[in-house]
């Protein structure tokens, strides 16, 4: 089954990853064309520095190349695997810097990131709009805990300390936020696309 992340005109993600596993550089190039922009965007959002974000982008694809055999289809899709590598690498970089400085950098970054990116396929543009809309639909208090956790790499305890609210409040806000997002996004994520059998 294809997903929102796959380009209907190109090979499925899993096929590109198989090419990578066989040492075929064009497989990596295909994945880069599909996810390079998204990973750079994510990395920039997390680390707040274009140079560091480029480092994260390069590290992510080199890790895909070196460790393509560690991908386990049972634990999620290729897109999620790559994004997870990128996020962990970015958060590792972020944690290596002073906490206050990284928060300041992220505040300064807000609104500064708006350079152009290729528009992508119709499916991916639609998905972007859906996700952005779903996030905008969250109450500020819920969006805040999601962003501090996902982009800030903070634990629930650290978020509670950062916001000055009880840990239980952070946990319930996190759960409510993800429940709302799941209600909106899960049907879209799971919506089957027209594609040949056996594809990711």
Partner 1 sequence: MTEEREHPIDDLAAYSLGSLEAPEARHVEHHVATCTACGSLLRQYQSVVGTLPLGLDPVGPPPEAWPAIRRNVQGRRYATNERIKVLAGWRRVMWPAMSALAGLLLIWNVVLQVELTRRPPGPEVEALARRPGRLVILTGTGTPEASGRLLVAIDGHHGHLAVAGLSPLPPHRVYQLWFIRPGQAPLSGGSFGVDAHGRAWASITVPVSLDETREIEITEEPSPGTVAPTGKPLLAAKAWR
Question: Which residues are at the interface with partner 1 (CB under 8 A)?
Answer: 4, 23, 25, 28-29, 32, 36-42, 44-45, 50, 54, 57-58, 61-62, 65-66, 76-77, 79-80, 83-84, 87-88, 91, 113-118, 124, 127-128, 131-132, 134-135, 146, 149-150, 153-157, 159, 171-172, 174-175, 177-179, 181-182, 185-186, 189-190
Q: Closest Cα to residue 55, out of 40, 42, 37?
A: 40
Smallest distance, Å, CB 150 to partner 1? 5
Q: Closest Cα to residue 10, out of 105, 151, 104, 120?
A: 120
Question: What does the alpha-carbon distance between residue 70 and residue 66 come to, in Å, rounded to a whole number?
Answer: 9
Between residues 16 and 57, which has the closer beta carbon with respect to partner 1?
Answer: 57
Between residues 26 and 104, which has the closer beta carbon with respect to partner 1?
Answer: 26
Question: What does the alpha-carbon distance between residue 85 and residue 20 come to, in Å, rounded to a whole number?
Answer: 16
Smallest distance, Å, CB 175 to partner 1? 4
Structure tokens at 48: 């707040």
CB atoms within 10 A of CB 195: 14
Between residues 51 and 197, which has the closer beta carbon with respect to partner 1?
Answer: 51
3-state SS string over 57-77? HHHHHHHHHHCHHHCCHHHCC
Smallest distance, Å, CB 172 to partner 1? 6
Between residues 17 and 44, which has the closer beta carbon with respect to partner 1?
Answer: 44
Between residues 12 and 154, which has the closer beta carbon with respect to partner 1?
Answer: 154
The alpha-helical segments, DSSP class H, found in the chain are 13-21, 25-47, 50-66, 78-95, 99-109, 122-136, 140-150, 156-163, 167-189
Smallest distance, Å, CB 165 to partner 1? 14
Between residues 12 and 44, which has the closer beta carbon with respect to partner 1?
Answer: 44
Smallest distance, Å, CB 70 to partner 1? 16
Contact 123/193 with Cβ under 8 angstroms? yes
């Amino acid at each position: 089954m294809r997903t929102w992340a796959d380009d209907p005109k190109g090979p499925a993600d899993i096929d590109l990853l198989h090419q990578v596993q066989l040492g075929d550089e064009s497989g990596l190039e295909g994945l880069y064309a599909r996810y390079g922009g998204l990973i750079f965007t994510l990395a920039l959002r997390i680390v707040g520095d274009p140079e560091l974000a480029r480092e994260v982008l390069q590290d992510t694809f080199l890790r895909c190349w070196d460790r393509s055999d560690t991908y386990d289809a049972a634990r999620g899709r290729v897109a999620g695997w790559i994004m997870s590598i990128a996020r962990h690498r970015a958060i590792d970089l972020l944690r290596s810097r002073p906490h206050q400085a990284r928060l300041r950098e992220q505040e300064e970054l807000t609104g500064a990131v708006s350079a152009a990116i290729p528009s992508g396929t119709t499916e991916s543009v639609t998905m972007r709009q859906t996700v952005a809309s779903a996030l905008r639909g969250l109450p500020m208090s819920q969006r805040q805990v999601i962003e501090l956790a996902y982009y800030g790499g903070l634990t629930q305890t650290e978020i509670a300390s950062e916001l000055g609210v009880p840990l239980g409040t952070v946990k319930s806000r996190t759960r409510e936020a993800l429940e709302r997002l799941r209600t909106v996004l899960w049907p879209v994520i799971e919506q089957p696309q027209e594609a040949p059998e056996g594809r990711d």
